């Protein structure tokens, strides 16, 4: 392979990696639409009951650096809304939950409505503005 061809391949790989990194960064912390499937607390490895209006299910691991801050944020948000509960699930103790939901990063937050339907999913530390917007949308649907 000529030096020019090798340089072109290297440049293409660097550009592709940069593009994928920027895309991943832009999507992190933003909500994606949930499946709408009905969940029970045992489906996510939680011992406590879901909230009457909504549940913020945080999927974490003990080594996750962003998980404690995410837990504080989700607890504070839940406390501001009657009928909203925050549940934290340790994936190290419940690896089947990570498999069930295809979790590739922690924290991952699942937003479950009052009918126990999965409405949104946030990969990475949630952006407060996106979390607020998703929760408000969810709460408007659930009296």
> Which domains are seen in the chain, by residue range?
30-141 (3.40.30.10)
Residue 62 pLDDT: 95
Instruction: Tell me the per-residue pLDDT of 6-46, one tens digit each, with 9 for 90 and over.
Output: 777 777 777 776 665 555 554 544 455 665 778 888 888 88
| CB 58, CB 74: distance < 8 Å | yes
Lowest-confidence region among 17-21, 56-60, 108-112, 128-132: 17-21
Task: Work out the pLDDT band at 107, boundaries 50, 70, 90.
Answer: very high
Residue 89 has pLDDT above 90, yes or no: yes
Is the whole-model pTM more than 0.85?
A: no
Please give the C-alpha separations between residue 127 and each of 12, 97, 133, in angstroms, as whole numbers.
32, 23, 10
Calculate the average pLDDT of the chain: 85
What's the rounded Cα separation, in Å, for the pair 85 and 53?
8
Lowest-confidence region among 12-21, 24-33, 47-56, 105-114: 24-33
Mean of the pLDDT values across residues 52-68?
Answer: 95
What is the side-by-side order of every strand in the sheet holding 108-113?
A: 31-33, 118-123, 108-113, 54-60, 84-90
Strand spans (E) along the chain: 31-33, 54-60, 84-90, 108-113, 118-123
What's the rounded Cα separation, in Å, for the pair 97 and 46?
10
Lowest-confidence region among 23-27, 37-41, 111-115, 137-141: 23-27
Mean of the pLDDT values across residues 120-141?
Answer: 89
């Amino acid at each position: 392979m000529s030096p020019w061809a090798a340089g072109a391949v290297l440049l293409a790989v660097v550009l592709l990696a940069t593009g994928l990194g920027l895309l991943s960064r832009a999507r992190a912390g933003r909500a994606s639409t949930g499946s709408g499937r009905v969940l029970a607390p045992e489906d996510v490895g939680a011992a406590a009951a879901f909230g009457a209006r909504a549940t913020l299910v945080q999927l974490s691991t003990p080594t996750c650096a962003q998980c404690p801050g995410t837990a504080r944020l989700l607890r504070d948000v839940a406390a501001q809304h009657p009928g909203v509960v925050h549940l934290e699930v340790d994936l190290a103790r419940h690896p089947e939950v990570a498999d069930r939901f295809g979790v590739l990063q922690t924290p991952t937050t699942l937003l479950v409505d009052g009918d126990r339907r999965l409405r949104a999913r946030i990969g990475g530390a949630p952006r407060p503005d996106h979390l607020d917007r998703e929760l408000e949308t969810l709460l408007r649907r659930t009296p």
